[in-house]
Amino acid sequence: MGRLRLHILASGSKGNAAIVEDSATGEGFLIDCGLCKRDFMARSAEAGFDVRRLRGIVITHAHSDHTKCLGVVLRGLAKEGLCLPLYAHPETVRESEPVRQVRDDGLCDVRPMAAGDVISLAGMQVHPFATSHDAAVSFGFRVECAADALGYLTDSGHVPGAAHEALSGVRLLALESNHDLGMLKTCGYPYYLQQRIASDQGHLSNAQAAAELERLLHSGLEAVAAMHVSQESNTYGIPRRTLGEVLTREEHPAHMHVAYQQQLVSVG
């Protein structure tokens, strides 16, 4: 049992937010903020995480489902006496009105972030790596604490080599499994949107996620969470089955989880 825990407060196209916690200290940091204040506070409490123990925020990219609730959540945290550092690439700040607004309102201390950086937050080391998405820039994260490690990848049309390397050897793996290709073609999305989602700058399919999981299997992997599951071109059952089949075939004991849009999932 390692020290890191991942509380996935929401995951999907309607809003994303997750807390990484060092269970030894109770401190943590937030990945993205696309969840309203009421649900943010309620699901944090449900996870047993005290929001007053947050020590920072990291932003994957500028799309609104990852940034739209920064203002209301940070105002709520300000009432608890918090003014947190917020790490975002300068291009993300340029592209995201919510990030600029909380900066200009003095609700956080915006700091630059780039691939290859090492950010110290809540006693953890956060390593951003580039993903492949149709934002100006986009990132996933490897988080290390003592001898423990967690990998977090969403919003990427494929897995770049540096991203694969960053995800290797983690105990907890949060991996995008966005869509089923057959469902994507019949879900009613316009053709251009289907092409965008399935492109190298879109989202990982269930099949792509399963292939990457197979490459990442090692004896120390304890849990996998399928992330950013589409409610239009996927079901929660398909990625659980598709990624679970990899674990079964390889006789791997890691626990399989699926992250939800409207429900807390804690891993670790």
Q: What is each CA distance from 92 to 64, 114, 221, in whole angstroms?
A: 11, 10, 32
The CA distance from 14 to 31, in Å, is 15
24-80 confidence digits (pLDDT tens): 999 999 999 999 999 999 999 999 999 999 999 999 999 999 999 999 999 999 999
Grade residue 102 by pLDDT with cuts at 50, 70 and 90: very high
CATH number at residue 248: 3.60.15.10
Q: Which strands sit side by side in the sheet containing 172-176, from one edge to the other? A: 119-121, 124-130, 139-145, 148-153, 172-176, 223-227, 255-258
| Alpha-carbon span 173 to 216, nearest angstrom | 9
| Amino acid identity at 180 | D
Stretch 91-103: mean pLDDT: 98
Range of the structural domain that residue 224 is part of: 4-267
Question: Residues with Cβ < 8 Å from 214, sequence gap 6 or more?
Answer: 246, 250
d(CA 32, CA 68): 9
pLDDT at 10: 98
Mean pLDDT calculated for residue range 84-112: 98
The Cα-based distances of 129 to 48, 54, 60, 102, 119 in angstroms read: 29, 22, 10, 24, 12
- pLDDT-above-90 percentage for the chain: 99
Contact 157, 133 (CB under 8 A): yes
Instruction: Report the percentage of the chain scoring pLDDT > 70.
Output: 100
Q: What average pLDDT does this structure show over 151-169?
A: 98
Question: What does the alpha-carbon distance between residue 15 and residue 182 come to, in Å, rounded to a whole number?
Answer: 24
Banded model confidence at residue 110, pLDDT cuts 50, 70, 90: very high
Q: Domain count of the chain? A: 1
Pairwise CA distance, residues 261 & 32, whole Å: 14
Q: What's residue 1's pLDDT?
A: 74
Residue-wise pLDDT for 202-247, tens only, equals: 999 999 999 999 999 999 999 999 999 999 999 999 999 999 999 9
Q: Confirm if 155 and 176 have CB atoms less than 8 A apart.
A: yes
Residues present in the chain in total: 268
Half-sphere exposure in the Cβ direction for 212 (13 Å, CA): 31
Q: What is the mean pLDDT of the chain?
A: 97
